[in-house]
Structure 1
Amino acid sequence: MSNNAQLDKEEEILRLISDQCARRIINTIQEESKSALQISKELGTELSTIYRRLNKFQKYGLLKTTFQITPDGKKSYYYQCKINAINASYRQGKFQVSLAFN
């Protein structure tokens, strides 16, 4: 990954985790996997909002996604946050984000 691409990725991750809804989702799936519907109900947040954030987490490799086949033959996806810690710094006009994974 080029230096500029890495900086863009770090800034996007920083922007994502600065969002209160995203942080609430992270907290909810830190210890155990949950479906988007479970997350939505637990947080009292619209399902579409949950899916938007989960898609962003997936884009940056911040989620572990598994699935189970339901009794009616459909896939049910479960999400767990892979982030254990986030460290961000700002130096000479640039952000640097380092992530510690589970």
Structure 2
Amino acid sequence: MAQTHPPQRPDKTRAGPEETIQATELVALLDDEHAREIITAISEEAKAAREIVTECNSSRPTVYRRLNRLQEAGLVTTAMRYDSDGHHCKTFRLRYDSASIRLGADGLCCTVEASDS
């Protein structure tokens, strides 16, 4: 079951049992066109970076920089995918289903809803 975590204090987002994402960092990531394209590309299933590069029609360095920022923010998780031919690659998956941002008297607050898997 998905869980929503309320903000702990202004400009912070409760993102998981032991993590906090800066609300301003989340807004900055969502303001970046390349980061939004990557989020869209991995929203349904985990994908390798080369698949993301092709789908987003972006350069490898651009995709890797954004994936690193998204991963550092705790929005993306990685796993290893092993193919039947013995090859393997790292895949990237979005950790959350939704995020809401609220600007109130106490500052910028966000809530993220974790995916079930």
TM-score norm. by structure 1 comes to 0.82
Question: Residue 103 of structure 2 contacts residue 109 of structure 2 at CA under 8 Å; is this kept in 1?
Answer: yes
User: Aligned-residue CA RMSD in angstroms?
Assistant: 2.4
Larger mean CA deviation between 52-61 and 87-96 belongs to 87-96
Distance 1:96 1:62 in 2: 16
Distance 1:95 1:3 in 2: 9
CA deviation after TM superposition for structure 1 residue 57, in Å: 1.1
Report the CA distance shift for 1:37/1:25 in structure 2 as closer, same or farther (over 3 A): same
Q: Which has the higher strand share?
A: 2
| Residue in structure 2 matched with residue 81 of structure 1 by the alignment | 94
The number of residues matched between the two structures is: 100
| Residue in structure 2 matched with residue 95 of structure 1 by the alignment | 108
Match of 1:54 among 51, 67, 70: 67
Report the CA distance shift for 1:19/1:30 in structure 2 as closer, same or farther (over 3 A): same
TM-score norm. by structure 2 comes to 0.73
CA deviation after TM superposition for structure 1 residue 90, in Å: 0.9
Structure 2 stretches lacking a partner, 5+ long: 1-7, 14-20
Match of 2:35 among 22, 26, 32: 22
SS class of match (1:98): strand
Q: What amino acid is aligned across from residue 86 of structure 1 in structure 2?
A: A
Question: Residue 75 of structure 2 contacts residue 96 of structure 2 at CA under 8 Å; is this kept in 1?
Answer: yes
CA deviation after TM superposition for structure 1 residue 34, in Å: 0.5
Q: Which has the higher helix share?
A: 1
Q: Which has the higher contact order (CA 8 A, sep 6+)?
A: 2
| Percent of residue pairs identical | 24
